[in-house]
Amino acid sequence: LNTAPVPKWALIAVAVAVVVLLLLFLVCVIKCCCRKKKPKKKEKVNLLSVSSSTMASLVQPEMEDLEHSPEDKKRGKLQYSLEYNLRAQEMKVGVKQAADLKAMDSGGTSDPYVIVYLTSDMKKKYETKVFRKTLNPVFNESFTFQVPQAEMPESTLVMQVYDFNRFAKHDIIGEVRLPLASVNLQRAIEQWSDLAAASKVEQEQLGEVCFSLRYVPSTGKLTVVVLEAKKLKRMDSRGLSDPFVKVHLILNRKKWKKRKTSVKKNTLSPYFNEVFVFEVPFNQIQNVDLVVSVWDHDKMTKNEQIGKLFLGCQATGNQLRHWSDMLSNPRRPIAQWHSLQPVDVVDKALGLKTHLKLPLHTR
């Protein structure tokens, strides 16, 4: 420094400047590195927070709500009784009442009724009366099933609670399934059971038919309008049917009067809109049963019955409701859909004997 031509203070100033520049350079490098790493840290934290908190707190509870929602379980409960008569080989089922049923109508109520049957004989089904606009109906009805003791362990008692709807499919509220093998029927049983979601059991569907009824007491005229049918059972090899409808009046278990519609070709959902008028005096209307049957027409062989049903004072369930509505609303047509039932079940309920039909073909 002493021999340098440059003054000492100048060299010191240059050295200080170089140190300052190095420090500034190092500061800039550090800042740039920090800026590049911070977004990665933030992104990593955000992803962790979404996966651990947002996903867990939003998605998982919704899945649990869908699977274990308390509202889904609140279908109501049903009180019933069971009593088995070993000597007569028959079981008496009492449908007592229901409580806290799920509201199926927009007004916050339901029109409940109960269907009772055994899985060992699904053709024989009983229905209670329909109760309007209530979630706590009191039925107090009993039904008797002929069940041999040997068949008891293999059968299940099914009690299904439905919401009645005149112009649409009836909605099922819930059901109680009671395997008889798990029940001690040596003594009478009376208990409550919660309704569960209905099981998807395959059943033979015969179809539905819609018709209206109108009765005028002063003239004694009963007007039946066969409107249409739908979802009929396939009777032909090509998967269709040629349906027509017969309407019978039965008085004191004997066929009295009958009419039939035209035949509709190759359809499972025929539209008829055909009117039939019967003369039924007011003093006989309580003793008359109206039988509606749907047939498949065949030119080469005998016509086959698809299904049938009957209405009258001795009917039950929806059929009795339709008949009662007709009588309580004189001069007013009342239309309703009905599910077809097996032929033998209806004939047995009416007390009709099939062998009595043979003489009708010899006339």
Q: Is residue 321 part of a domain?
A: yes
Tens digit of pLDDT for each residue in 16-25?
788 888 888 7
Domain limits at 81?
77-194
pLDDT band at 292 (very low <50, low <70, confident <90, very high): very high
Whether 215 and 91 share a structural domain: no
Residues whose CB is less than 8 angstroms from the CB of residue 351 and which lie 6 or more positions away in sequence, other chains included: 253
Domain boundary among 173, 194, 215: 194
Q: Are strands 243-251 and 121-127 parallel, antiparallel or unpaired?
A: unpaired
How many domains would you assign to the chain?
2
**What average pLDDT score do residues 195-221 get?**
85
Residue 73 has pLDDT above 90, yes or no: no
CATH number, domain of 174, equals 2.60.40.150
Domain boundary among 168, 194, 220: 194
How many other β-carbons are positioned within 10 Å of the β-carbon of residue 230?
A: 14
Q: Residue 81's closest CA among 172, 157, 181, 173?
A: 157
Q: Residue 150's closest CA among 89, 91, 93?
A: 89
Whether 140 and 236 share a structural domain: no
Q: Are 243 and 306 in contact (CB under 8 A)?
A: yes
How many other β-carbons are positioned within 10 Å of the β-carbon of residue 96?
A: 16
Q: Is residue 51 part of a domain?
A: no
Which residue type is seen at 146?
Q
Q: Is residue 131 part of a domain?
A: yes
Q: Is residue 37 part of a domain?
A: no
Tens digit of pLDDT for each residue in 156-165?
999 999 999 8
What pLDDT was estimated at residue 185?
81
In this structure, is the dihedral angle defined by the CA atoms of residues 265, 266, 268 and 271, taken in order, positive or negative?
Answer: negative
Angle value at C-alpha 305, between 304 and 309, nearest 5 degrees = 175
Whether 190 and 213 share a structural domain: no
Residue 79 has pLDDT above 90, yes or no: yes
Tens digit of pLDDT for each residue in 226-266?
999 998 988 876 668 899 999 999 987 788 899 999 999 99
CA atoms within 13 A on the CB side of 95: 27
Higher pLDDT, 106 or 363: 106
Total count of residues recorded for the chain: 363
d(CA 208, CA 360): 28
Tens digit of pLDDT for each residue in 295-320?
999 888 889 999 999 999 888 888 99
What pLDDT was estimated at residue 201?
55
Residues whose CB is less than 8 angstroms from the CB of residue 111 and which lie 6 or more positions away in sequence, other chains included: 105, 130, 131, 132, 133, 134, 163, 164, 165
Please indicate, yes or no, whether the overall pTM of this predicted structure exceeds 0.85: no
Q: Is residue 170 part of a domain?
A: yes
Token reading at 233: 């059972």
Whether 218 and 340 share a structural domain: yes
What pLDDT was estimated at residue 344?
87
d(CA 256, CA 347): 15
Q: Where are the alpha helices (DSSP H) in 130-282?
A: none
- Using DSSP's 3-state secondary structure scheme, residue 338 falls into strand
Whether 213 and 164 share a structural domain: no
